């Protein structure tokens, strides 16, 4: 899941000049950083898990956490993911990535 979202994000990055991305404050989380941060998340033993991504960008960090929840599933049967993003330019990619994540996730 994460690899797909990273590849989609790389396509987006190549399509936008650096100065445009910088003007929006877009500094996308690298895959290794997202994986490291996801490993720091403690997965609760509940049926429903809620995740907040307050600067979602293209959804890389969300994907890393959802991937970890799927891998370490402790009886979870629902993930509620709330993403906030201020830059309208990236929202179509974020929505596409979230749809992919929903379909690819085992939970």
pLDDT for residue 28: 81
Rounded Cα distance, 100 and 8, in Å: 11
Nearest alpha-carbon partner for 43 in 31, 51, 35: 51
For residue 38, give every residue at least 6 positions away whose Cβ sits within 8 Å of its Cβ, in sequence order, or none.
Answer: 61, 64, 65, 67, 68
Rounded Cα distance, 31 and 48, in Å: 26
Neighbour-count burial of 91, counting CB atoms closer than 10 A to its CB (0-12 exposed, 13-18 middle, 19+ buried): middle
pTM here is: 0.87
pLDDT of 3-35, one tens digit each?
A: 999 999 899 888 877 776 666 666 788 999 999
| CATH number for the domain that contains residue 15 | 3.40.50.150
pLDDT of 37-84, one tens digit each?
A: 999 998 888 899 999 999 899 999 999 999 999 998 878 999 999 999
Q: In total, how many domains does the chain have? A: 1
Range of the domain at 47: 2-104
């Amino acid at each position: 899941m994460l690899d797909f979202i990273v590849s989609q994000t790389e396509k987006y990055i190549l399509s936008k000049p650096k100065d445009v991305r910088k003007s929006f404050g877009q500094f996308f989380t690298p895959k290794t950083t997202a994986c490291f941060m996801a490993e720091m998340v403690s997965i609760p033993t509940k049926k429903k898990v809620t995740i907040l991504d307050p600067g979602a960008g293209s959804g890389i960090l969300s994907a890393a956490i959802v991937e970890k929840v799927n891998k370490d599933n402790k009886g979870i049967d629902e993930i509620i993911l709330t993403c906030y993003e201020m830059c309208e330019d990236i929202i179509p990619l974020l929505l596409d990535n979230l749809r992919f994540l929903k379909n690819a996730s085992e939970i």
